Structure 1
Amino acid sequence: MRRSKLLTIFCTALVVGLAGLTLTVAVVSAQSGPATEGTPPLIALLSVSEPDADGFVTITGDTGSVFPSAQVAVRNLYTEQTVYAQAGAVGGFSARIYGPGNTPFWISPAREIAPELRDIPGSLPGGPGTIIYGPRPTGEVAQSETENVTQLVIDGDASDWQAYPQGTLQPSPERTVYALRNSESLYVGVSDASLPPSYQNVEVLFTLDNTSYSLLLNPLVAQPALLRQISPPERDLGTLPLVSSQGAAALEVRFPLETIDTVIDAATLERIRFLDADGGELFVYVVDRAIPLVNEVDGVVRANSRLGTSVTRFTLSGPIGDGAGLWTAQGRINQLDFRPGDDLIIELDVEMQAPAIPADLVGLRMIGEIGMLPVVNGDGQQRTGGLNSNNGWSGALTPGGLAIDNLRGGFTLGQTITEAPQVLRREEGILRFRMDFALTLPADLPAGMYLPTFVGMGQVGDGEVIAWTASGLFGVGPGISRQPQTRLPFVLNIGEVTAPRLLWSLFYDTPSDGSRGVLAAQDSEFAALSNRVRFNSPTYILPPNAPDGMPIGYPLEPYVVAEMANAYDTSAAPMIFFDYPGELSVSVTRPNGTVNDLGSAPIVQSQLSTPTVDERQRFGAQSPIDMYRLTTLNPLFTNYAFDQYGLYQIDVTGSVEDIWGNRYEGGGTYSVLVAEQIELLPGVLPGTPFEVGDTFYAGARVVPGFPADITVTVRVYPVDGGVAQEQVIQGRADARGFFQSEENTVFQMPGEYIIDYEARYAEPDGRLWAASVRSAGVIATPTTTGRLILHGQRGLMDYEADVRPAWYGAQQYAPDSGGSAIMNYPYFTGDVAWVVDDNDSGINPVLRVQDRSGVYANWLEAAEAAGISFGRAVAQLATENELPVVLVSLDTDYGTAVTPQSAVNEAYSYVSAVRPGVAVRQFVAGGNDGGLSFAWDANDPYNGQIGAGITGDRPGDYAFMFGGSVVRNREAGVMDTAIYAALSVVTSPNDPLGSRVYPPFTGQAGGPSGGPLFVVRDEPIDIFFHPTGARPGQVFTVGDSLRIAGQVAPPLPSNVSGVVTSPSGETSVFGGRANSVGYYYQPEDSVDLSLAGLWTVDLVVEHDGLSSAGAVQPPYPSGSVLGEPDRRFEIYVVPTQDTSPEDDALPWAGPEDGPFPAGLPYNFGFEVPVEWTNVRAFHSISTPSYVLSSGPVQVTGRTFSYQYNPTQLSLLFPNLETDSRTVGPAASDMVTLTFFATGEDGIGLTTTMSRTFVIMHDRLFTFG
């Protein structure tokens, strides 16, 4: 039994020294008690037995290894097989599973693992888990594996018969006949330089125990032989699978004896005849000699191994046939440290359990491929990994430092082929063969540490090459990972890398309003995180306390971001087989400057996943999950409480070795702001595409409303690589959290931008509130002059069809979809995707360009001719106007991910799909084949952002799907950007049209109709305006400016116009045309709010131009703000405050910040001052997406009341969540309620009072 050496460290002494303001913990101990729910299995209490004869091991968890009565999932990360065990009342368990040698096992306990979650490929269900390994093979190959195997290779070369002189039955200098038999097969060989040059068949005549047989075969053709019993009696015995091979001067045959007889006393080889097509004899070898018996068996034969005496042994396994069977290999490699140009030798003895392969199949040869994935470069710096190591981060960055996703580091080092005669069928469904790789590392291979990978394939004759993992030849199983991968269990050090450093992140499983994880400042120079749901905010904000006031304990332990596949639909072995213990040291500098030195602790094991049994419910099915964490199991490191508001600096250092002795370091300085998280709604939707000449609306709204300090930083990176431009806009929001700047930013040149928003508000008692948002996208020349036009992609994701339409209904285009499908970004800007609200529907954000000039297309074709693959022929892609936007390097064989500085075609795309207030997908994509999943489905929780909704999208939700591409190719002379936008709308599962993509405006441009966007208050909506400047129900102060900014939907260059009416009846008009993707802001239309009282805004958006289907015909589609049926919304203006805004706030007896009964009716009641007369009251209730209700409220005397009833509102707005069983601000849409009263005071002057409430699901805020 193999037990972890970590057991000893559980008794390490705890020494605490306290000096001044510094707390120093010199040595700390790991968890000493039994495992508890929410913690991983204790690896010190786990053991893996030696494998039995069939390769099965027993994994034993001693008492306390998991929490009591847990259901325990155990997965073989090589084969993907999973078993389940029930822990006992004291937390012990036992599980039997296949996994010889150094097999990695993922073990995950949970209170209950539902049947529907079991045996799903990919993420292992359960709570926090850990990975353990079986005992690593040591020593030389076992005697039973070598000495008793017949050492004859059927390869058409008779030289190996010299090892069996007894098998030489007819010696001759010119020609020799050989034969022998072991306990399983009969071997026959002929060595003759004058073999007949042309023949049809060879007949081997032999006798077994006085019964004569004829075997008819053609060694030049892969087909079964014909076996016939000659006497007594004469009969056909059918076909016989055998292996044969003919070389220039030799013929060899091996066929199994079990099909004839299992016990044979005597055998004689009589004749070998060469026959023509008519069966006539061309030549005959007359032998008539007894066939000697050797006490051996068939097996894997390796006559001339190139390995020396010092080898490293290992075990590999993997699935075949989509899980129908498996293969296992005992492997050897000549060394682990190399220099470029060295020989790399790997030998694999493979056994494949493939019962689906037909028993009479012949001609099956095996192909093996060794690849190399980068781990660190020659300086020890981590590089973008290959498949299943690039999920959640990238080492390739935009000029602004954003991760460029979907790059796939790595390359194929070489192949080997095991010909059909060397593939041995031992028994029913069992194949054995060797795969020997004799490879030379390229002389120009960049120094670094590389992870070897293996891919197995099969081929019958000259037919299709089929991956072992694929369904078909090797069987049809229940399913395996979307991206299966076999990683060898070691890392190769090429070029004497001495200080490898891995990327460590903190807080990856603790989102900050959608952001996930923090990198050390030292690592941020060359790498960036990317969760693909939301651009990580520039400031990572964590609250100190839970809603109940109890301190939150945060882990200060590192996540190794490239270690695992991190995917819901894929599991794979770890990149590095770590050997514990490692060491971790942490020091925390508080905001007040005091230092909390936690000291050092041993890293005792890994921890994967969170307490959520199904990670999809926490992070979605497409985002990074199951991140690998190094844990000390020590509460000082796993459960740290931040006890001050403000900016913390966390210094982390540490190291851990792998099982081969390589030492990896990580850590650095991490920053986190401890504050109460608030929502910041930017004045421009994040990721909005701009055109040169557009004016950026520098506004924002903080929710709940605070007079927060606001900083907006605008950075523009010119497409030509020129000097970046930066503008910092600072100011303070008003008392209700609204901010807008008098400064205008006009975009002057094409390029890419990053806009960072920061908000801070400190209460007098020191309580800090904060928000941080990052917006990023592209600035393009107007589409009428740009060289490139940006598109989505026709058709459905991963759906193969001869025709890929731009417009379609999924149930007609793909009948087997049932109306549910993952649709690509609509091909044309301005088009609409209706997404059915179910698990199987969603959007795949993919962008392609159309090249008006042909220059970019020509360069891509030249790159294709130079060996770069773009998935499909560039000429076809150019014809379809769907050219790829990818990073391409031409002067390296190792890919852009390994050498990002070598990129000639610096091309990538910004994606920003946003619901108002919620990021749906945000990332930068630079590759087509990196294996990452970019899509989202209707049930994505969006990393728990404020207002995301516990069930993700609901009918009525909508998202603006923005995109922008940058192509910077100096070789081709292309320096261009292009922008794109479309709209997605979530529709009911009962929608008879199902998921679909169509042009907007229900066919008014002559194209097909997908119906209205949605129906609001019985009104079909074809077009609307989403306001991001002045918003319905907003409270302004006299002297403020009213500015109309927002986004047209569908996103097209529509006309926006309107009239602003003051309380005195004075009017102001505004209007203009949105940019090509619907962004609207005209700074010259600012209206001065000079009077207190009720103002109205009549706003109309109308489209009178082109859509993808052509020119829209009158009457032109028109609309307004969603939820305002009269195309009018109200804003409230209050007098300038000389003192606190509370002085003119409607009195409120409830708490300013307190619990709220989510989903239930709630009554708001108010009373105006006694001296008021002619009182009128108004209300406005809205989410970031809709106005739910607005208008007058009945006043009785001096009081008025309003019942907020989310259940009733959800009948009109089904996207409004009403589940009272959920908790937290992410569980439902954020709702803003504003009440406004106006009347005359005691001297007849008009006066006003207001109060705004914000409901964050189960929490109510109001600050006047």
Structure 2
Amino acid sequence: MLTVLLALSGCATTEYKPDPRYPIHGNALGLEWGEPTKDAGKWAAKISVPVSSLQGGQSVPVAVELKLEHGVLAALHQRNGRLDRIVMLLTAERLFDGEGRQHRGTDEGMSTVLTPSGLPIEGGSQGAITSRFNTYPFRTPVDELVELPLPPLSGAQTVRFAVNAKVMPALPPGLYRLRASFGVRANHGTPAKPRHAYFDLHYAGGMTRHTFHEGSYAFSSPLLPASGKDANGKPVDAGRIQARIPWTILNGYNSNGYSGVVADEDSRHFALGQRNLIHDEVILPRVHPKGYKIAYNLEPSFPFESYYPKDNIDWNWRSGEMTLEITNPDGSRSSPVTAAIIGKSPHRHGPTTGNKEFTSWQPKSDGLYTVRVKGWMADKSGRRYEGGGSYRFWIARRMTMATATFPGAAYQVGYQYGRDIGFSPPLPAKVSISATLYPDSDPRKAKTVRSTGTANAGGVFGVAQGMKMLPLDAPGEYHARILATHTDSNGELWVCAMRHAGVVYPENSRIVARGKKLRIGNTYLARGETRIEGYNNGPADSKMPHLAFPFNAGDVLLMASENQGYNKIEPVLIAENKAAPAGKWDGKLDDIGTTNLALQTSNGLSPHMFPEYIIARQYYYGAAARPGFMARFLVADSSTRAPYWPTSPNDFGMQAGSSHNGDQPGDLYRFLGGIVRQEAGMPPDYAGYMSSGAILPRGTNNNRVIAPGSEDIIGPKGQQARFFLTPSFRPGMAYLQGATWRPVLQIDPMLPVKITLTLTAPDGSIQTESGIASATDGTWAGRVRQLQQSGIYHYRISANWEGHSGTIPGLPANGGEFYVMGTRPPGAKGLRLDQPKEAVFSLADKLRFKGQSSATRVHYALIMPGAVIAQGSVPVVNGKFELAFDPAEINRTTPIYDLTNRVSGESWGEQEPKNQWKTTRKILHLSLFSKERTPDGSVFWDFHRVITRGTTVLSVEAK
């Protein structure tokens, strides 16, 4: 007989003396949210499993001994005087499939279930997989519930469970373990008409879902191999299964909101999704802003072990080895280095060799690297697990991009994917775009359009530069990869990587994508006022509302920002049938992260643990875009742990444009998404979703959902209006003479606003056009025209809806201007800024720029994502000009330009230098434009743009 102590983790106290028969303990009641660990009771368990493998249809006698320390049952009974049973749920979990690939029953921030384009589909059951106690409609190959009379409440108690566990007949091949989950039962009815409720040892309802405590469960060990036929009917000998776990590298090194590189060998079956934006190619700098070379640790992390530590494999941390080989950008290779694993890394969820070849690698040049890291480890039973492969990533400076396409946006059939892209810094980058449509979500039907070209001198890439449109001519899903590279005049490489993905839906779709209804009292409403907001005045006085995207597309969510993390937005969508809309709200959907969409399997087993049996795919895309960056992106089904984000504080993965303050009054949102819903044997149905959001000041005490245009909202400049405009033609945008130009405006919230645009060309000629914005997607698009003259174009916009007017936040009363450049004469000096490529400035001082020009005046536009700061011109005196901007004044006129840490209340200058970077990574774009002269009298218009990211100033010259 194999007898194994269950591996549990607990928080010891000074008073508690462990029973030597149970060397590892778990915590019981006392670890509910907000409760002090010191009040937790203790428990321990051991399990006897007299088999070394599993077979379909067999009966396995399992004995489990549970010890409850003094006070545990008494504390549980104090919570609920109707407790009458102590219970154990025994389930089976398959950790590795017949091909040796690792899976979990819940996928969080990663997944082994992927969309057609390879994005992770999160979801699953956060606990034992059973349909007994929760809304998760799946099972595992073993599902036994044992109920025993409740022992006496006083003193320590030992409970012995025995069960002949029945294994399902058609057992999928793989490597398994048994899971014992412990809890109590209460009868809230009568003996004649019982109404049972189950709780785990933390008194968490449902007994199996442990979202924010360690859980009262344990696993058998070692793993139990199971032979059999796989989903395709192929026999699998479990004795030959080589377990493989995903190894990722460079976790923890921020790549503009995400981190970690997946091996090529794992990428078809595993993907990371860190929820701020779509996980993409990793781009990391070679040199720190302070001038020293950065050293990177190339040892692997085990992503599946980054949550629920108790679920982790019982490793022998002094077993195994790994080998490292590096292919440099020039094609040269390093000599392979092999080192023994000496322990668990103190910094990552993975092993370490302690070898500096692995732990302190310094790239010698910029470019695309291929790093090969492979190896193995063993668990304490001696089973060997392999991992690793080839990893590709960039060592370069990060170039960002702006476009009218948002990750997660859904489009109706007939739309064409592809909009102008503006790169920052504005470099003439080499651009490649691969855009793919997956009709019916079928990779076999994929249609791909590839674009290549070079952005113009203003960093703009569009049709004139080589962009090709992807016709979205069938329902399905789309995906695009954008990659741009440029080597500047100093030989430094700049790289931008971005992915877009979403749903393509037909006009006559059979389903509607919706958010969730508000629960106000006992009433469910699509729109309504909650009369509360989140706050934390201590353990006994707090509220934490979670509000989902509005039920109706087009509506507006107004959510408070209290700087404590207690107001949360949930990006979850549900599906509704057009022909038979639900008459009554299903209260099960109230659970955070829960949708009515679920992947389906042919055998009823968990789709996240047994993905090879999936026969129908149902999931949603949920995303949230703010001007300048993404706040959220995920794809998920069923129930997903903590998909929400707190409004403040929140650093949004430290993306450029974000700040520690998170969402603040004046920030405007587009909530985006779509639904894929397939029934077995049928093509999927699709639906798109779009709504809006705005942030309320602390103390408003009324989180709510409203109809668009029904009340004023706060804009980026602090002013209030029924709606605001965001243009594709921002002040300071630069185009080449002869380029095609089409004005596009985004209206937030989405309303049928009447737009009138007046455009004045450099020669004074005027063009005017009018139209009505779409209330469906909140956009207005004007007619296409050519920019035939070089110089400054001026525009004015009138926007009206039912007597209310709106504007581009911060746009001067006399309108905005953008720039058109002609051909620059060879060898011309042009507009020059006396500014290093990179510098650091203090937000407590003025930001000053000096430069040289042969013009009489230098025109400028200063903007940040979401608002215009300043626009004008300065004189050139004796060939020199100067500009100065005060960050404090910018913050005063444009509050979303953060200078104060809203949590601590300290201004930027009052904070310790080590903390100042947290306050703001907000972006400013200063565009300069002037009419220059060459020595022979020729005239041309010249352009330069400076960018600030937090306290870093970038003034990059193209090569």
TM-score higher than 0.5 here?
yes
Q: Name the stretch that deviates more: 503-512 or 1193-1202.
A: 1193-1202
Q: Deviations over 1:847-896 (max 9, x none)?
A: 01221124x989xx9xxxxxxxx98679x99xxxx97222123x313122
Select which of 684, 690, 705 maps to 1:997: 705
Within the candidate set 27, 38, 57, 1:341 is matched to 57
Q: Which residue of 2 aligns with 1:793?
A: 516
Q: How does 1:1001-1080 map to 2 (within 5 A)?
A: 1001=709, 1003=710, 1011-1015=711-715, 1019-1027=719-727, 1029-1052=728-751, 1054=753, 1056-1070=755-769, 1072=771, 1077-1078=776-777, 1080=779
- Which digits, 9 at most, give the CA deviation of each residue in 1:780-814, with x for residues without a partner? 223xx332221111126xxx952222223333599
The alignment covers a number of residue pairs equal to 890
Equivalent residue of 1:406, what SS?
strand
**Alignment CA distance shift 1:1034-1:814 (3 Å):** closer
Match of 1:533 among 270, 273, 276: 276
Q: 1:945 aligns with which of 628, 638, 655?
A: 655
> Given the superposition, is the C-alpha separation of residues 1183 and 435 from structure 1 closer, same or farther in structure 2, using an over 3 Å criterion?
same
Q: Which moved more, 1:900-909 or 1:751-760?
A: 900-909
- How has the CA–CA distance of structure 1 residues 1203 and 528 changed in structure 2, closer, same or farther, with 3 Å as cutoff? same
| Pair 1:642–1:827, CA change in 2 (3 A) | same
Q: Which residue does 1:402 correspond to in 2? A: 119
Residues 604 and 585 (structure 1), Cα distance of their counterparts in 2 relative to 1, 3 Å cut: same
Q: Which one of the candidate residues 470, 479, 482 is aligned to 1:754? A: 479
Measure the CA separation in 2 of the matches of 1:1017 and 1:811. Answer: 26
Which residue of 1153, 1164, 1177 corresponds with 2:849?
1164
**Within 2, Cα distance between the matches of 1:1041 and 1:457?**
68
1:1190-1222 CA-to-partner distances (Å, cap 9, x unmatched) read 234466676543321111111122221233635
Q: Which amino acid aligns with 1:913?
A: A
Q: 1:469 to 1:1045 in 2, by over 3 A?
A: farther
- Residue correspondence of structure 1 range 613-632 to structure 2 within 5 A: 628-632=349-353
SS at match of 1:337: coil
1:911 is paired with a residue whose SS is strand
**Amino acid paired to 2:501:** A
Which is further off, 814-823 or 730-739?
A: 814-823
Q: Residue 926 and residue 1199 in structure 1: after superposition, are their counterparts in 2 closer, same or farther (change >3 A)? A: same
What does residue 144 of structure 2 align with? 415
Q: What residue in structure 2 maps to residue 1255 of structure 1? A: 948
Sort the Cα spacing of 1:549 and 1:434 in 2 relative to 1 into closer, same or farther, 3 A.
same
Q: Which of 158, 162, 185 is matched with 1:432 structurally?
A: 158
Counterpart CA distance in 1 for 2:755 and 2:206 is: 61
Distance 1:449 1:871 in 2: 37
Do 2:24 and 2:44's aligned partners in 1 also have CA atoms closer than 8 Å?
Answer: no
Q: Tell me the equivalent position of 1:351.
A: 67
Equivalent residue for 1:982, pick from 677, 680, 691 = 691
Measure, in 2, the Cα distance between the counterparts of 1:603 and 1:1153: 40
Asked if the contact 1:831/1:983 (under 8 Å) is kept, the reply is yes
Choose the corresponding residue for 2:341, options 603, 618, 635: 603
User: Counterpart of 2:808 in structure 1: which amino acid?
Assistant: V
2:136 aligns with: none
Higher RCO, 1 vs 2 (CA within 8 Å, ≥6 residues apart)? 2
CA-CA distance at 1:916 after TM superposition:
2.2
d(CA) in 2 for partners of 1:760, 1:363: 65
CA contact (8 A) 2:718 2:895 kept: no
2:854 maps to 1:1144: no
Corresponding letter in the other structure for 1:436? A
Match of residue 1202 from structure 1: 883
Query: What does 1:227-246 align with in structure 2 at a 5 Å threshold?
Result: none
| Equivalent residue number for residue 546 of structure 2 | 822
Written as runs of structure 1 = structure 2, the 5 A alignment for 1:1098-1113 is 1098-1103=796-801
The answer to whether structure 1 residue 1183 and structure 2 residue 864 are counterparts is: yes
Mapped to 1, the partners of 2:371 and 2:457 lie a distance apart of 34
Deviation per CA, 1:986-1026: give whole Å up to 9, x if none. Answer: 23214x2543221221x2xxxxxxx4221455642221222
Label 1:1015 to 1:402 Cα distance change in 2 as closer, same or farther (>3 A).
Answer: closer
**Corresponding position: 1:919 with 2:630:** yes
Q: Shift of residue 402 of structure 1?
A: 1.0
In 2, Cα distance between the equivalents of 1:320 and 1:336? 40
2:613 equivalent among 889, 902, 907: 902
Query: Which residue in the other structure is 2:429 paired with?
Result: 708
8 Å Cα contact 1:553-1:641 kept in structure 2: yes
Cα deviations by residue, 1:932-955 (Å, 9 ceiling, x for unpaired): 534443222122212221332333
Q: 1:321, 1:472 within 8 Å by CA — same for their partners in 2?
A: no
Matches of 1:97 and 1:1054, distance apart in 2: 71
Shift of 1:482: 4.6
Q: What is the aligned partner in structure 1 of residue 389 from structure 2?
A: 668
- Matching residue within 47, 52, 56 for 1:331: 47
Aligned to 1:967: 677
1:925-974 Cα distance to aligned partner (Å, 9 max, x none): 1222x435344432221222122213323332222111111123254x56
Quick one: structure 1 residues 499 and 1240, their matched pair in 2 at CA, closer, same or farther if it must change by over 3 Å?
closer
Decide whether the 8 Å contact of 2:438 with 2:446 is kept in 1: yes
Distance 1:1088 1:362, change over 3 A: closer
Q: Determine which of 147, 165, 171 is the counterpart of 1:445.
A: 171
Asked if residue 469 in structure 1 is aligned to residue 201 in structure 2, the reply is yes
1:886 maps to 598
SS in structure 1 of the partner of residue 888 of structure 2: helix
CA distance in 2: counterparts of 1:363 and 1:1033, whole angstroms = 69
CA distance in 2, matches of 1:815, 1:392: 27
Q: TM-score, normalised by structure 1?
A: 0.65
RMSD: 3.8
In the other structure, the counterpart of 2:788 is 1090
CA deviations 1:55-106 (Å, max 9, x no partner) are 9xxxxxxxxxxxxxxxxxxxx994642669xxxxxxxxxx987585676699
One-letter identity of the residue aligned with 2:888: T
Match of 1:371 in 2: 91
> How far does residue 445 in structure 1 lie from its aligned partner after superposition?
1.3
Select 1:1215's aligned residue among 891, 896, 911. 896
| In structure 2, C-alpha distance between the alignment counterparts of 1:101 and 1:733, rounded to whole Å | 69
CA drift at 1:460: 5.1
**Compared CA separation, residues 1226 and 372, structure 1 to 2 (3 A):** farther
One-letter identity of the residue aligned with 1:949 = S
Q: Can you give the 5+ residue segments of structure 2 that lack an aligned partner in the other structure?
A: 130-138, 188-193, 228-237, 900-907
What is the CA–CA distance in structure 2 between the aligned matches of 1:1226 and 1:630, rounded to whole Å? 34
What 5-or-longer segments of structure 1 have no aligned partner?
1-54, 56-75, 85-94, 107-118, 124-318, 611-626, 862-869, 1004-1010, 1104-1113
Q: Is residue 689–residue 1077 contact of structure 1 (8 Å, CA) maintained in 2?
A: no
SS at match of 2:889: helix
Deviates more, 1:501-510 or 1:324-333: 324-333
> Displacement, 1:484?
2.5
Matching residue of 1:641: 362
Q: Could you tell me how far apart the structure 2 residues matched to 1:368 and 1:694 are?
A: 54
- The letter of the residue matching 2:859 is F
CA deviations 1:417-443 (Å, max 9, x no partner) are 3532xx554x83322221112212222
5 Å-filtered alignment, 1:726-765, equals 726-742=448-464, 743-763=468-488
Which whole-Å CA distance do the structure 2 matches of 1:334 and 1:819 have between them? 49
* Structure 2 length-normalised TM: 0.85
How far does residue 1255 in structure 1 lie from its aligned partner after superposition? 0.7
CA distance in 1, matches of 2:295, 2:32: 32
Distance in structure 2 (CA, Å) of the matches to 1:104 and 1:122: 23
Say whether the 8 Å CA contact 1:1068–1:1087 is kept in structure 2.
no
Q: Which residue of 2 aligns with 1:1129?
A: 816
Secondary structure of residue in 2 paired with 1:1187: strand
Residue 1245 of structure 1: how far off its partner (Å): 8.1
2: CA distance between counterparts of 1:872 and 1:1051? 29
For residue 305 of structure 2, the aligned residue among 558, 563, 585 is 563
Do residues 958 (structure 1) and 674 (structure 2) align?
A: no
Distance 2:916 2:21 in 1: 46
Cα pair distance change 1:926/1:1138, threshold 3 Å: farther
Alpha-carbon distance in 1 for matches of 2:755, 2:722: 15
CA shift for structure 1 position 333: 2.0
1:481 maps to 2:217: no
Read off the aligned partner of 2:712 and give its amino acid letter: P
Q: CA deviation at 1:900?
A: 2.7
